[in-house]
Homo-oligomer: A and B are copies of this chain.
Amino acid sequence: MMKIGLLGHGVVGSGVRKIIDAGETEEVRELQVTKILVKDEVELTDPRCTLNADDIVNDPEIDIVVECMGGVEPAHTFAKKALENGKYFVTSNKKMLASCCNDLFNTARDHGVTVHYEAACGGGIPWMASLDRTRRVDDIDSFRGIFNGTTNYILSRMAKEGTEFADMLKEAQALGYAERDPSDDIDGFDVRYKVALSCVKAYDALLNVEDIAVYGIRHIDKKDLDYCRENGMSCKLIGRGINHKDSVSAFVIPVFMPVDDVFASIPLNFNAIESDSKTLGKATFVGQGAGSLPTAHAVVQNVVDIWKDQDSEIYIKTPRPVDNSLYSSVYYVRTSKKDAFADVCDTVIKDGEETVLLTKKISMKEMDDLAKASGDENLFIAEVQA
């Protein structure tokens, strides 16, 4: 019997408690939630509830601490204490783990325990578990993903109905698809956290999350999608990580891809993630990202992994630099500062107050440097996939 302390009892945390309390399978009946951290006194509805995280992270009877609080602090402090006390740690909190991965993975290693984060990336999609499994036979060469349902919903609706970005964002928010902070979605930060965590799992690489280049869809316009359609392409917000020997190329960017790419028709608020490796080749997972029970299911799977001692977290994770000079492509640029891109311009699609152009084949690093140097606050860029 594994004893579990639960930090957070919101949408995901309460789902975890329900699944474990229900005990529908033999494996789950081996688990027991013994303490639950809640936010205020009105939530003290269960004798297991406490308002003091120390009751959980310092409890010698607890084997596994599960964190579903969200936010960087105090989740990070609680996680660190739990690991220092020799407890296994499971989290659904992508922002906290991606931001503090160096600290937490090192602390775990020093105390002989492990960190698990299936629910932090892909929600109900068994993405992390699949990477673990694939790695038993193959090295992972690269991955790409539609990691964010909100932006995929917006892009799908805009493409299908020819609507404007602002209207679709409002609708996505009304439907409850948006994360707490809409900037996390539309500026690509949510995807950036997931790329960072996928690099940990796929490559054992601890990246500085701030080094992952990030371009979102805040400035996308109906006319960008018109260009896609007229050229047999579809636009998706993609997170990528490419494995090099000593570094990783890692970035988030809208991608114009041919309509027969399997990602091109991923509808509405679905996620899709794909790994590429030598013998398995491309393996693709599709699912509706979030939701209380699917995310809670992923958390419980990690707890079962620990109970069965089936985790692959034996691999040592080490810091690795992001190097986006090793990935090259053609980019679509819509800008009011065309001079900033003169040296890399290959084709001018439209000139005027705003210029739309295609670059020569350049590295993602060069594109990123030029974009930052341009000073264009309304710049929209996308990768054009051959």
Binding site for B on A (CB under 8 A): 15, 19, 24-25, 27-28, 124-126, 129-130, 133-139, 260, 262, 265-268, 270, 272, 278-288, 291, 293-294, 296-297, 300-301, 304, 308, 310
Chain copies in the assembled complex: 2
Q: Kindly report which residue of chain B lies nearest to residue A28, judged by CB atoms.
A: B137
Contacts of A267 in B (CB 8 A): 260, 262, 265
Which residues of the other chain, B, contact A28 by a CB distance below 8 angstroms? 136-137
**Is there contact, CB below 8 Å, between A304 and B262?**
no
Contact residues in B for A272 (Cβ distance below 8 Å): 286
With a cutoff of 8 Å between Cβ atoms, the chain B residues found around residue A284 in the complex are 285-287
- Chain B proximity of A234: nearest CB distance (Å): 10
Q: How would you classify the secondary structure of chain A's contact residues: helix, strand, loop or mixed?
A: mixed
Chain B residues with Cβ under 8 A from A293's Cβ?
Answer: 278-281
Shortest beta-carbon distance from A82 to chain B in Å: 23
Q: How far is the CA of A272 from the CA of B265 in the complex (A)?
A: 14
Q: Is the CB of A137 within 8 A of B283?
A: no
Point out the residue from B19, B124, B138, B282 that lies within 8 Å of A281, measured CB to CB. B124
A138 touches B287 (CB 8 A): no
Q: Which residue of B lies closest to A266 (CB)?
A: B262
8 pairs, A vs B, C-beta closer than 8 Å? A25-B138, A126-B130, A137-B301, A262-B266, A272-B286, A284-B285, A308-B310, A310-B310
Assess whether A301 is in contact with B136, with CB atoms less than 8 Å apart: yes
Indicate the member of A27, A129, A260, A287 with the most B CB atoms within 10 Å: A287
Given A133-B129, A260-B267, A310-B310, the answer on whether A138 and B280 have CB atoms closer than 8 Å is: no
Given A133-B129, A286-B286, A279-B266 contact (CB < 8 Å):
no
Instruction: Identify the closest chain B residue to A264 (Cβ).
Output: B265
8 closest cross-chain pairs (CB), A and B: A265-B265, A284-B286, A279-B297, A279-B293, A27-B136, A280-B297, A136-B304, A281-B294
B262 touches A270 (CB 8 A): yes
Q: Which residue of B lies closest to A260 (CB)?
A: B267
- Closest chain-B Cβ to A155's Cβ sits at a distance in Å of 15
Q: Is the CB of B285 within 8 A of A285?
A: yes
Contacting residue for A24 out of B278, B291, B301, CB 8 A:
B278
Q: Are A25 and B137 in contact (CB under 8 A)?
A: yes
Measured CA separation A297–B129 after assembly (Å):
16
